[in-house]
Structure 1
Amino acid sequence: MQASGETPKQAEIALKAKLARRIRRSSGSVELTADSAFTRLVEVWLEDIELDDLAPSTRELYERDMRTLVLPAFRDMTLREISIMKVDRFLKEQQKQSYARAKHAKVVLNLALGLALRYEAIDRNPVAGTKRLRRPKTEAKALAHAQVDAIRAAVRAWRRGDQKVPGPPPDGQLEVIIEVMLGSSLRIGEVLALRRCDVDLTTNPATVRNSGTIISPKGKPTYRQPRPKTSTSVRRIAVPTYTAEALRRQLMSSAGEPPETLLFRSRNKTPLTTNNVRRRLRDILKEVGITGVTPHSFRRTVATTVDRAGGTAMAAQLLGHTSTEITKRHYIEPDENVDVRTAEILESLAPGKSPGQAAGHEGGLAGTE
């Protein structure tokens, strides 16, 4: 178990409190029955996930979804009163607003009622009996090369030139961030977590090692988490020359700093937040009439480009996915083009051409009656 605090003493107190709660639960002193209020279950569940080894951002998301989506619907019920029909009806109402809303609500409700089942307060988890949520069909959309160049030009020209605008001049970091995303497929949080020691420009091609991500807990300072989103995301990636050149410029800006120094930092030497980078990119592109582009658009563009040249398996490996299905479904833009070799094969059906003249074939076409 782990706990943190602003001082060693506060960390020790927090750790003892966690241990006490776990001992209390394991000894059966936490009472939950079928007549317990749902609000009581939520209190116990929030304590339970605090003791789990969850990323702070995940824990915050679970708590927010429970309080904003689920609790208003079941606040006045006991565990006995929460039936499959009521849960199913609740999830259908959520899905009318959006699939994501329904999915988030189902996840936290399932976790909380699963805890009630383990405490033997209910005989079965009502969520298990509800109808499966159907994800709306969506298609990944990659950026065309002309769009990428237009984005580069807009970011490069922002607040530069003869136009006088208030505020500090741009530091050029966003330009480098875009080149790193385009040359590595890394998520925005992973790019912002790159350190000087993660970049190796002595190899050919140059490489970057993905080993962390940026986290911005609610009400707490932004920090670098020493692991990326998933364990399979830890990898060393060879990058193209344009990314290596951008990284070389960025390394020069922090020359003499320790190896663990972040490549991208605020003017106060603190980590950049993903939200600020997204907002800056959106505002810059809006000025030139480009909409709908997010940092994830670059990741989809990379996946689609690699898929076209090297196949889905290579794209999945680059993105750090364990399944090509995830890559294909969410990151690769569908290809409408049929293999051009089919036209050559079908030349055998040209008027007046004998079966023996079929391109690339021995013999003729099978006859039909």
Structure 2
Amino acid sequence: MGRPRQSIGTYGTINVTELRPGKWRARTRYRFADGKARQVEKYGTTKPKAESFLKQSLLTIEAGRGGELRPTTPLRILGQMFLEHKRGLERSEGTLETYGYAVTAHIIPRIGDLTIAEAKPDRLQKFLNTVHKESGHGATKNCRSTLSGMMSLAVSNGAISRNPVRDVERIAQPKGKKGAAAVSPDDLPDLMGKLRQAPTLVEQDTVELLDFMVASGWRVGEACALKASSIDFSAGTAEVVATNVRVKGRGIVRQTVPKTDAAWRVTPLPGPTMDLLRRRYERLKADTTLLFPTAVLTLRDPSNTQRELRDVRDSLGYPKLSTHSFRKTAATMLDRAGMSATEIAAFLGHANPSMTQDVYMNTLKGSTRAGAVMQDQLKGLI
């Protein structure tokens, strides 16, 4: 009987030969996805180096043949191709950063050498369970979403017939962990008074940013990116057209694409909030078009703002306070005033009103104008 036929994506015995002093050749036969076995060779200055170079090249050899996705393509290659695919679709810097972190920090180090065909649901489930145990729910959710996108790309390119992530169980968020907590409207006067007395927040010119956030319901990145050109002082509105994000190798970037399509919105603001913006505009217009820059008039980092708040919240008596608390507080006040889920979702920039209901409040009903409601709710606070 003849020798058993090699499986696709495997290689035979590696033969290493010294061609001359300081030059070694490693050679083997690799069976490609088209069924044909071809000779592959690599060189090195020593025998171990030549063999190592050959083995490394075999991990990515299919991707090197025209960049096509095959069942034998390793997930490390699929991950990079997925990121390039998203760049080609002109996804936002923040989105690319999120996907990129999942690929480089979790997927490649742990399962990057698995091939597409080997990425079965049970293996992916085990990987996600490990990420959840070591890095938490947020990282797990990000990795699952990224893996799903990667495997969808593999399906669309004919490398596999079904996305295996569909058969992976979702890992539920631990009970009791529901993110930032809203501040009770009854406690808001006390909190705002304490914030205005916090030396570090005053020094970093952060207090009025927080005033704006509770009145507008904007995300911290959106508020940090606000420019005068987005404000209509006569109409009493501000438009979300950008968000600040940190991009690896570039620092803080004003990304002129909001978080989602629904995030692109015009927000009616209370009169006192418009007065606050007008004062800031008059004070800053000679030096910057930003309304909430850093103390040295550069783009404000949302993460730094979150850290500033974390550093003082215990001393203020609000240990669960975060920048997102102000957004949830705005939703709570609108809910108390009887606005509908759809109206509040539009005000906050949510694509799905059900998410507004599930995450930001309990029951929603009635209808009224958000700007007028916020002016009444924040009377005397801004």
Q: Which residue of 2 aligns with 1:150?
A: 190
Q: Which residue of 2 aligns with 1:193?
A: 225
Between the two proteins, the alignment pairs up a number of residues equal to 297
Deviations 1:234-267 (A, max 9, x none): 2222212332232233123124567xx1112234
Contact 2:92–2:255, Cα closer than 8 Å, also in 1: no
Q: Which residue of 1 aligns with 2:292?
A: 264
Distance 1:236 1:40 in 2: 41
Root mean square deviation, CA, Å: 2.8
TM-score of the two chains, using structure 1 as the length reference: 0.71
Q: Which residue of 2 aligns with 1:49?
A: 86
Q: Which residue of 2 aligns with 1:343?
A: none
Q: Equivalent residue of 2:125, what SS?
A: helix
Distance 1:77 1:233, change over 3 A: closer
Q: Which residue of 2 aligns with 1:182?
A: 214
The alignment status of 1:304 with 2:350, answered yes or no, reads no
The alignment status of 1:324 with 2:361, answered yes or no, reads no
Structure (1 or 2) with the greater helix fraction: 1
**Residue 107 of structure 1: how far off its partner (Å):** 1.3
Contact 1:214–1:222, Cα closer than 8 Å, also in 2: yes
Q: Equivalent residue of 1:115, what SS?
A: helix
Contact 2:335–2:363, Cα closer than 8 Å, also in 1: no
Contact 2:262–2:346, Cα closer than 8 Å, also in 1: no
Structure 2: tracts of 5 or more residues without a match = 1-64, 365-382
Q: Equivalent residue of 2:239, what SS?
A: strand
Q: Which residue of 2 aligns with 1:13?
A: none
Identical residues among aligned pairs (%): 28
Q: Which residue of 2 aligns with 1:31?
A: 68
The alignment status of 1:314 with 2:314, answered yes or no, reads no
Contact 1:155–1:174, Cα closer than 8 Å, also in 2: no
Deviations 1:10-61 (A, max 9, x none): xxxxxxxxxxxxxxxxxx8213332333333233333333323111121121
| Alignment counterpart, residue 100 of structure 1, candidates 138, 144, 152 | 138
Distance 1:251 1:43, change over 3 A: closer
Say which is worse superposed, 249-258 or 310-319, in terms of deviation. 249-258
Distance 2:66 2:227 in 1: 47
Distance 1:198 1:75 in 2: 44
Alignment of 1:75-94 (within 5 A): 75-94=112-131
Alignment of 1:162-173 (within 5 A): 170-171=202-203, 173=205
Alignment of 1:263-302 (within 5 A): 263-302=291-330
Alignment of 1:52-63 (within 5 A): 52-63=89-100
Contact 2:222–2:258, Cα closer than 8 Å, also in 1: yes
Q: Equivalent residue of 1:222, what SS?
A: strand
| Alignment counterpart, residue 129 of structure 1, candidates 145, 157, 167 | 167
**Residue 171 of structure 1: how far off its partner (Å):** 4.9
Q: Which residue of 2 aligns with 1:216?
A: 246
Q: Equivalent residue of 1:105, what SS?
A: helix
Distance 1:69 1:35 in 2: 20
Structure (1 or 2) with the greater strand fraction: 2
**Residue 282 of structure 1: how far off its partner (Å):** 2.0
The alignment status of 1:230 with 2:268, answered yes or no, reads no
Q: Which residue of 1 aligns with 2:55?
A: none
**Residue 95 of structure 1: how far off its partner (Å):** 4.0
Q: Which residue of 2 aligns with 1:354?
A: none
